[in-house]
Amino acid sequence: REAQKLLEDHEDTKLFVVGVYGRRYFSQHHIPIERMFLYTAQNPTLERAREISGLLLDQYDAGLLKKIFVVYTDMENGMNTRARSTRLLPFHRTYFAPPEKEKKIETPFEFEPSLQVVLDGIMRSYLTGFIYSALIDSFCSEQQARMTAMDSANRNAEELLAQWEAGDATEDSFAQLAQENSADTSSASNGGLLQYVSPYSGYVDTFTQWSLDPSRQPGDTGIIQNTGSSVKGYHIMYFA
């Protein structure tokens, strides 16, 4: 929404996008992207932040960009995240307003080799640092959202299994449970039944290991986490 607001307020906005979700969103909405950084947003590094800031500063210095905004997800604390839009360039004068109680400086600063050279170095470091911070914030926010979703999925799985165990706890009732609650539409239609499980059947490791455990007995149940594919979640297992 923050990026969409910028596009509405500034018709000539150029988008420099990091991460799969951003690229997918703008592509699906047929919104032109000036530059896509193809590395994953899940591995933020200072080197990548330097690459982004260098490109933006070069275009800004060349007059191709009049303003530079960064839109990112800010992790305010361990529970709350917020989408933010911050203008990096040009600076607002309020950025440098001294605190009211700060002692006034009487002696001018000296800059070596020159004020221009010092400011150029500061600008690149400032822009790189802010972008790196935004990449880290966005990564942490995404991880927090995933952890929250996984925790909710785990609690839901435990409640469903407890609900089944409180009933007649039969193979037929488990099939009904799968039909009514499974997100896997390919197996839900036949009561969650999967056959011919082997080390070569292509299932995720946790699923295969549980199913092929030599101690497994008919009627065994369990909850296993799916971490080996792009779709994360939990399986409620019943061994028949």
pLDDT tens-digit readout, 153-181: 888 889 999 999 999 889 999 989 888 88
CA dist 83 → 126, 224, 232 (Å) = 21, 33, 24
Beta carbons of 158 and 223 less than 8 angstroms apart: yes
14-68 pLDDT, tens digit per residue, is: 999 988 888 888 888 899 999 998 876 678 899 999 999 999 999 999 999 999 9
Q: What is the average per-residue pLDDT within 218-237?
A: 79
- In percent, how much of the chain has pLDDT > 70? 95
Nearest to 137 by CA among 67, 68, 86: 86
Percent of the chain at pLDDT exceeding 90: 29
Average pLDDT, the chain: 85
What is the value of pTM for the model shown?
A: 0.68
Q: State how far the Cα of 73 lies from the Cα of 85, in Å rounded to an integer.
A: 9
Q: What DSSP state is assigned to residue 194?
A: -
Residue 173 in tokens? 């009732």
Pairwise CA distance, residues 45 & 38, whole Å:
14
Tokens encoding 227: 């971490």
pLDDT digits (tens, 9 = 90+) for 107-121: 888 889 998 899 888
The two structure tokens encoding residue 133:
């911070």
